[in-house]
A = this chain, B = another copy of it.
Amino acid sequence: MATPDSATNDAYIRDLPLLARLPDDDLKALAARGRVRRFAAGTTIFHEGDPGDALYVVVEGRVRISRISGAGGEATLALMGPGDCFGDLALFDGRPRSATATATSVTRTFVVSRDDFVNWVRERPAASLALLETLSLRLRRTDETVTDLVFLDLPHRLAKQLLTLAASLPEGDARKKQRIQVTQGELASMLGVSRESVNKQLNQFAREGWISLSRGAVTIQDAQALRTFD
């Protein structure tokens, strides 16, 4: 079932929030235009400033979207897992990549070129509305990130981030245990603070009994406390 012919490709995009609620025929038409690409762990998928001419859907693995500062720092804008898609902005406005995408584990992606996508969407007004809705929701989330950065201190931003990560955990075992696979350095990069500060605050939460820590993971013990502490 891993054969990348057009008859099976539509499975890759069927459960995509970006494209959900589209008729089956439309999905198949899009799937037929795409192809599969694999990336090893640590590989750069595309880089800030590159010409942007394709949409990627994560089939398997993990991708980090980040931006780099002049002074060598790096801010993580998002983490993508199976079913998420990225590189879509370039599709709509034809501008260069505004961020860098890196595979943080072995990753399989489904790729659709800009031309193919635009042609496909031009004939499907319903798809456009779904896309508008998706972008709209992303814009809301980003606006919220901005106000969080302005209003909230590190402890509250960290608690919120942990809860968000827990909510986006895949169904099943890890979900129930509320075990988030993330290093403290990654958390720091998402929050725009130093790794050391994250470490100190996590241990603070752990002392309260709200979370427990292990190498490469945080487990939430008391989500309610994280939501309402002050």
**Which residues does A use to contact B, with CB under 8 Å?**
67, 69-71, 73, 75, 77, 88-89, 92-93, 95, 98-99, 118, 121-126, 128-129, 131-133, 135-140, 142-147, 149-151, 192
Selected contact of A69 from candidates B71, B131, B140, B147, CB within 8 Å: B147
Selected contact of A146 from candidates B73, B95, B146, CB within 8 Å: B146
Q: B147 and A89: CB pair below 8 A?
A: no
Q: Which residue of B lies closest to A131 (CB)?
A: B132
Q: Which residue of B lies closest to A135 (CB)?
A: B135
A118 to chain B: which residues have CB within 8 Å?
129
Q: A32 → chain B, closest Cβ, in Å?
A: 20
A–B pairs, 11, beta carbons within 8 Å: A67-B147, A69-B150, A75-B146, A77-B143, A77-B146, A92-B129, A93-B140, A98-B144, A121-B128, A128-B128, A135-B135
Selected contact of A132 from candidates B69, B135, B149, CB within 8 Å: B135
A99 to chain B: which residues have CB within 8 Å?
143
Q: B125 and A93: CB pair below 8 A?
A: no
A149 to chain B: which residues have CB within 8 Å?
146, 149-150, 192
Classify the interface of chain A: helix, strand, loop or mixed. Answer: helix
Q: B121 and A129: CB pair below 8 A?
A: yes
A144 to chain B: which residues have CB within 8 Å?
98
Most B CB contacts (10 A, CB to CB) among A71, A121, A135, A150 go to: A150
Q: Which 9 A-B pairs have the closest CB atoms?
A: A128-B128, A150-B192, A69-B151, A92-B136, A92-B132, A93-B136, A135-B135, A142-B142, A149-B149
Q: Which residue of B lies closest to A76 (CB)?
A: B150
A145 to chain B: which residues have CB within 8 Å?
146
Q: B142 and A71: CB pair below 8 A?
A: no
A135 to chain B: which residues have CB within 8 Å?
92, 132, 135-136, 139
Bound CA span A71–B142, Å: 21
A150 to chain B: which residues have CB within 8 Å?
69, 73, 75, 149, 192
